[in-house]
Amino acid sequence: MGRDNDSYQQAFILVGFSDRPQLEVILFAFVLVFYILALVGNSAIIFLSIMDTRLHTPMYFFLGNLSFLDLCFTTSIAPQLLWNLWGPEKTITYQGCVAQLYIYMVLGSTECVLLAVMSYDRYVAVCRPLHYTVVMHPHLCLQLVIVSWFCGFLNSFVMCPQTMQLSRCGRHKVDHFLCEMPALIAMSCEDTMLVEAFAFVLGVALLLVPLSLILISYGMISATVLRIKSAAGCKKAFNTCSSHLTVVSLFYGTIIYMYLQPANSYSQDQGKFLTLFYTIVTPSVNPLIYTLRNKDVKGAMRKLLKGEKEDREA
């Protein structure tokens, strides 16, 4: 299989919506606002989960890790995207493209598994509350996070080399905002069936399997909640799970659509907007989803703000 190796080291041109400058201005403002929200919201959750001892529980340990993932995930995309939307140059170096592809695939894949881990934590909290502290001990929580990261690195180090080695016959215009795998596969000039097959198998392993485990966990949780007679108990269980289920729906819905379809049916414009959604919007709204109904996090925030106010008055 021939390789145009001499052209690999050339910069890629990220086309995006360069033919629609007015839309690029709107997108710049949109991305900037949501990126700032993602930075502030996720940093706040990480800080609170470390500083407030009441949040030193498995649930907030996983939430802190998810916020760290979201923070890194959106940061691996947004700065380069803002630079390209603002200026006339729409290029990214070959090395930058490779780094972007590796980093965001590691983080995205890790988040897929971590969301399944978090559903197991909620299953134990609702269905086995008396054994929660015994089952979800710190050593197991750390092991589950390590497994999540291992799966993310494994997926990235399998798929990224396969994607970047595809021959492009001198093509360097990526019809996207970033170096995303479906867009890079779509611009190849050779048969991509083997790479697509690898992507599909790993997509099933890292998307459908964790999603199935999440659905099983929530099926068991629902059965348990239906047996709870007190309204207060039902409300507590609902509040425990509703935020996570909302995040799962937002994240998995777009990711599955993006990665479990053939490259020849890949819609460029639709793919661009979906990519903006799960790389920029979702990481920025996750902190809001997890804190709006969370009394512990809101209490920690009030305690922190109250302490700062008292320090200023003193």
List the chain domain ranges. 11-226+235-297
3-class SS of residue 92: strand
Q: How confident is the model at residue 17 (pLDDT cuts 50, 70, 90)?
A: low
Q: Residues 71, 39: contact at Cβ < 8 Å?
A: yes
Separation of alpha carbons 72 and 65, rounded Å: 11
Separation of alpha carbons 70 and 277, rounded Å: 13
pLDDT in tens, 144-200: 999 999 999 999 999 999 988 888 887 788 878 888 888 888 888 888 888 888 888
Residue 12 CB contacts under 8 Å (≥ 6 apart), including other chains? 91, 92, 93, 94, 97, 172, 173, 174, 179
Q: For a pLDDT cut of 70, what percent of the chain falls above it?
A: 86
Q: How confident is the model at residue 264 (pLDDT cuts 50, 70, 90)?
A: low
The answer on pLDDT for 208 being more than 50 is: yes
Query: Global pTM?
Result: 0.87
Q: How confident is the model at residue 291 (pLDDT cuts 50, 70, 90)?
A: confident
Separation of alpha carbons 68 and 45, rounded Å: 9
Residue with tokens 């966990």: 217
Q: Considering the domain delimited by 11-226+235-297, tell me its CATH architecture.
A: Up-down Bundle (1.20)
Average pLDDT, integer, range 206-211: 90
Name the residue with higher pLDDT: 263 or 278.
Answer: 278
Q: How confident is the model at residue 250 (pLDDT cuts 50, 70, 90)?
A: confident
Q: What is the DSSP string of 221-266?
A: HHHHHHH---HHHHHHHHHHHHHHHHHHHHHHHHHHHHHSS-GGG-
pLDDT in tens, 81-132: 888 888 777 888 888 889 999 998 999 999 999 999 999 999 998 888 889 9
Q: Residues 39, 285: contact at Cβ < 8 Å?
A: no
Query: Looking at residue 166, what DSSP letter applies?
Result: S
